[in-house]
Amino acid sequence: MSKQLDYHTIRAIFERFQEARPHPEGELEHVNVYTLVVAVALSAQATDAGVNRATRALFQIADTPQKMLDLGLEGLTEHIKSIGLYRQKAKNVIRMSQILVDEYDGQVPNSRAALQSLPGVGRKTANVVLNMWWNMPAQAVDTHIFRVGNRTGICPGKDVVAVERALEDHVPADFQHHAHHWLILHGRYHCKARKPMCPTCLIRDLCPYEDKTT
C-alpha cells in the first residue's frame, strides 16, 4: 500500500485521465435504469463482456420489473446461464423485480439505502447506479479501483469502504463524477493485477509504485 498522495499530485493524475478520456463510460450495456441495476448485479465475479453477451437478448424482452417477472425464473436462468453464479443471481433478480413492483410501483429508487435493500444489490452496485444514472458523485469501488488506489496512493485503504472514503475525501470535486470510471478503466487495461503496463503508463512519473515493470 502506498502512502496517500498529496492534492496537487492527485489533481495532476486526474487531469491526465480527463485529457486522455474526457467522457469515460461504464462498459455494461443497458437500456434504462432497471436494466442497469440488473446488469451491475449480474457482473459480480463476472466480466462486463460476459454479462453483455448474456443480457443483449434478455433486455430486448425483459426491460422492466414486470416483464422480468413474466419471463420467470426458468426463462431468466436460461438467458444468463453463461454467467458465474447464475442460479443465485437469477433468484435475486426475480426477488428484486417483485419488490420493485410491489413496493416501488415498478420504479427503481434513487437512494443508496433503498437500492441496497434490494436482493443482490450491494454498496458497489448501488453506487454504480447512483453515479451512472443519476449523476451523483458516488464512488463504486471494485477490485480494479482497490488495486489502483493502493498502488498509486490516490486512495489507499485496507478495505473497499476505506478506499471509497479516500476517493471522496481526496479526489478534487471537479473529477468526482468520473473518478471511478477512470480508475476502473486504468486498472482493467493498464494497471493490471499481475503485469501492470508501467512502461507505457499515463501517470508513470506521478506514481510511487515501487515494483514498476520494465
pLDDT digits (tens, 9 = 90+) for 45-83: 899 999 999 999 999 999 999 999 999 999 999 999 999
How far is it, in rounded angstroms, from Cα 82 to Cα 78?
A: 9
Mean pLDDT of 92-103: 98
**Phi, psi values for residue 127, rounded to 5°:** -65, -40
pLDDT reading at 155 higher than 60: yes
pLDDT > 90 fraction of the chain, expressed in percent and rounded? 91
For residues 133 and 93, the answer to whether their CB atoms sit within 8 Å is no
- Which residue has cell 472514503? 165
- Residues 155, 166 contacting (CB under 8 angstroms): yes
Check 48, 63, 105, 142 and give the catalytic one: 142
User: Which of the residues 124, 159, 192, 212 is marked catalytic?
Assistant: 124
- Please state, as a whole number, how many other Cβ atoms lie within 10 Å of the Cβ of residue 40: 25
Distance CA 33, CA 137 (A): 17
pLDDT of residue 213: 55
For the segment 101-126, the average pLDDT, to the nearest whole number, is 96
Q: Which pTM does this prediction carry?
A: 0.85
Q: Is 124 a catalytic residue?
A: yes
205 given a catalytic annotation = no
> What nine digits make up the cell of 173?
470535486
- Is there a contact between 139 and 179 (Cβ–Cβ < 8 Å)? yes
The alpha carbon of 3 is separated from its chain's Cα centroid by a whole number of angstroms, namely 24
Check residue 195 and give its pLDDT: 92
Q: 45: helix, coil or strand?
A: coil
Would you say how long the chain is, in residues?
214
Residue ranges in 86-214 assigned as alpha helix (H)? 86-103, 112-116, 123-134, 143-152, 160-170, 176-189
